[in-house]
Amino acid sequence: MSRQPRADPGSDSRPGRDSVRVATLGVQVAALAVQHAAPKHRAAAHGGPGYRPPAPAPPLRRAEAGLAAPALRRGGAGASGGQRLSPTSAAEALSLLYPASGGETAEALRTVLHLPEWSADVVAALRDHTRSLDGLRYDGDLDDEGAPDSLQMSNRLWTATGLEPDPRYLDDIATALDADVRALDFAADPGGATDRINTTVAEDTRGLIEELFDEAVPPATRAVLTNALHLKARWAAPFTDIQPAPFTAPSGKVDVDMMSGATGAGRSVDGWQSVDLPYRDGTLSAMPSCPPRA
């Protein structure tokens, strides 16, 4: 009923001695309708039968970390044995689906997202989180030496022509996630609809992810939900050299280009090792992590 995007479309990264440029993408493709899903908190908003105050939403950064950790522990995502994960991108894409879900699907999403039942409090927490990320956006020339570190995020809901999602659902995702809704004719022109999504993804990631789908999505597709993140930042302490060096991968030792010369604060917790590498503006930092040795 659904078609998956091409292998490993979800991220691209280009670290360098002076700066890093990363794009990530979260996507959901569904042959389902969302027009009948209504957030439960609205039905009980005035304290009617069965009403109970919603549980407070946890800090979103903690919830996103909880989403990433299990994937990191599983390891071995690609041929190189490495992973590039954006818990924010994955959480945003799943959060677009969460308020339209019910039953076992809603329970599964609650567990994965580490969030309580969808409520006005969750909407408010996501809204504040979205606004804080949007404050890092810079629309000028990112290659200019004086440009600030920039994080650009977009959330989009692509619906089949004629589909009318519940207005309350649209209001929630617009408020919580600043989601943009666009209609596409998947049934009559799946190729054109796919090209429109691919073009927008390329624009949202400033060309780092040029194509999400390498084949047309099925004509029966009812909705596509995408999140895209683009980061361009300069190191606070630039790397000074790049040289080939041995690296131990799951398949054995290989020679890869290694950067050296930068400094950062190291940590070790329960066998996990990481280093905090701040970017120039001091607002963001990179934290490469290595799991415990098997």
* pLDDT number for residue 289: 80
* pLDDT number for residue 272: 84
pLDDT digits 0-9 by tens, 220-277: 999 999 999 999 999 998 888 999 999 887 788 999 999 888 888 888 988 888 889 9
Domains of the chain: 11-234 (3.30.497.10), 241-290 (no CATH)
* pLDDT number for residue 57: 47
* pLDDT number for residue 31: 43
* pLDDT number for residue 28: 54
pLDDT digits 0-9 by tens, 44-71: 333 333 433 334 445 565 566 666 666 6
Does the reported pTM lie above 0.95? Answer: no
Residues of the chain below pLDDT 70: 1-17, 24-85, 294
Average pLDDT for the chain: 78
Secondary structure of the chain as H, E, C letters? CCCCCCCCCCEEEEECCCEEEEEEEEEEEECCCCCCCCCHHHHCCCCCCCCCCCCCCCCHHHHHHHHHHHHHHHCCCCCCCCCCCCHHHHHHHHHHHHHHCCHHHHHHHHHHHCCCCCCHHHHHHHHHHHHHHHCCCCCCCCCCCCCCCEEEEEEEEEEECCCCCCHHHHHHHHHHHCCEEEEECCCCCHHHHHHHHHHHHHHHCCCCCCCCCCCCCCCCCCEEEEEEEEEEEEECCCCCEEEEEEEEECCEEEEEEEEECCCCEEEEECCEEEEEEEECCCCCEECCEECCCC
